[in-house]
């Protein structure tokens, strides 16, 4: 285990992975998330700056929650982020649907092999039964 200082309060804690926050600061952040989620539900047309000011949360923190797909703005909301690949406005996540599909296809094609030896091996690796 790794001992680190909390990024928020400075206390020492056993760091496992993820955000460098102690358990108490992480609980506080989760409480703020719930408040923000409820605020956005009640005020769907609020912009990101207004949400940040009303809930005492930073704009980068809000954007992080949206990128993590923990928060999503409604379709009629003026708030949006840019796709990290093509720049299209999106409501949640890191990539638009078109870029997600391209990424999945690219990764999927990397696993497909046109090597004839591999195909021959797959054909030979079938279960066989002996006739008695």
Residue 102 has pLDDT above 70, yes or no: yes
C-beta of residue 29 within 8 angstroms of C-beta of residue 13: no
For residue 35, what are its two tokens? 């408040």
Q: Spell out where the chain has E strands.
A: 2-5, 12-15, 81-82, 89-90
Q: Indicate yes or no: pTM above 0.75.
A: no
Q: Where are the domains of the chain?
A: 22-77, 78-108
Question: What integer pLDDT is reported at residue 18 of this predicted model?
Answer: 82
- Of residues 110 and 38, the one with the higher pLDDT is 38
The confidence band for 112, taking pLDDT boundaries of 50, 70 and 90, is: low
Residue 82, pLDDT > 60, answer yes
3-state secondary structure of 89: strand
> What element of type H or E holds 13?
strand 12-15
Would the pLDDT of 31 be above 70? Answer: yes
Residue 35, pLDDT > 90, answer yes
For 59-72, write each residue's pLDDT tens digit: 999 989 988 888 88
Do the beta carbons of residue 48 and residue 62 sit within 8 Å? Answer: yes
* pLDDT over threshold 60, residue 113: no
């Amino acid at each position: 285990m790794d001992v680190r200082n909390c990024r928020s309060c400075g206390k020492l804690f056993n760091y496992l992975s993820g955000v460098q926050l102690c358990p108490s600061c992480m609980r506080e952040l989760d409480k703020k998330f719930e408040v923000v989620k409820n605020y956005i539900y009640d005020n769907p047309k609020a912009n990101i700056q207004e949400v940040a000011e009303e809930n005492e949360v930073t704009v980068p923190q809000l954007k992080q929650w949206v990128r993590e797909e923990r928060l999503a703005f409604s379709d009629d909301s003026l708030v949006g982020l840019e796709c990290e690949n093509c720049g299209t406005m999106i409501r949640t996540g890191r990539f638009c649907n078109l870029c997600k599909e391209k990424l999945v296809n690219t990764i999927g094609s990397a696993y497909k092999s046109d090597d004839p030896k591999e195909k021959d091996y797959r054909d030979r690796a079938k279960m066989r039964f002996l006739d008695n």
